[in-house]
Amino acid sequence: MSKRYSNEHEWTVLDEQIATIGLSAYAVEKLGDITFVELPEIGTLVGKDESIAFIESVKAASDIYTPISGEVIEVNELLENKPELLNEDAEVNWIFKLKVSDGVEFETLMDEPGYKAYIETL
């Protein structure tokens, strides 16, 4: 399955109608030691680029935006007590899953080489 990235540094993997979303290793490294993740509520309907979750490190705090629209169907509850999982492997440890309402949005996101090129410019 291909992985896509947004400008706001979220990664998305789409499997049929289910999108798994996390934060890129690049973004997590910039934030430093993650100390807290506020997860969205299951059942929430969200539109593309809406702020949906919240992540905090010692020195920074950031909203997490959903790169595509849909309904929250699952959240990674492990992060509630072990936010450091994101520091350990951000590209594997996902944050929430969506039931996608518009598959086309996924196609508009950057692929891995595209994202790599994008963070070079930052």
Q: How far is the CB of 12 from another protein (least distance, A)?
A: 24
In whole angstroms, give the CA distance from residue 76 to residue 80.
Answer: 8
Q: Which CB, 49 or 56, lies closer to another protein?
A: 56
Residue among 14 and 34 whose Cβ is closer to another protein: 34
Bridge-based pairing state of the strands 70-75 and 51-57: unpaired
Q: How far is the CB of 53 from another protein (least distance, A)?
A: 13
Closest to another protein by CB, 61 vs 92, is: 61
**Residues 3, 116: Cα–Cα separation, whole Å:** 12
Task: Tell me the C-alpha distance between 67 and 5, whole Å.
Answer: 8
Q: Which residues bind another protein (CB under 8 A)?
A: 33, 35-36, 38, 56-61, 63, 83-84
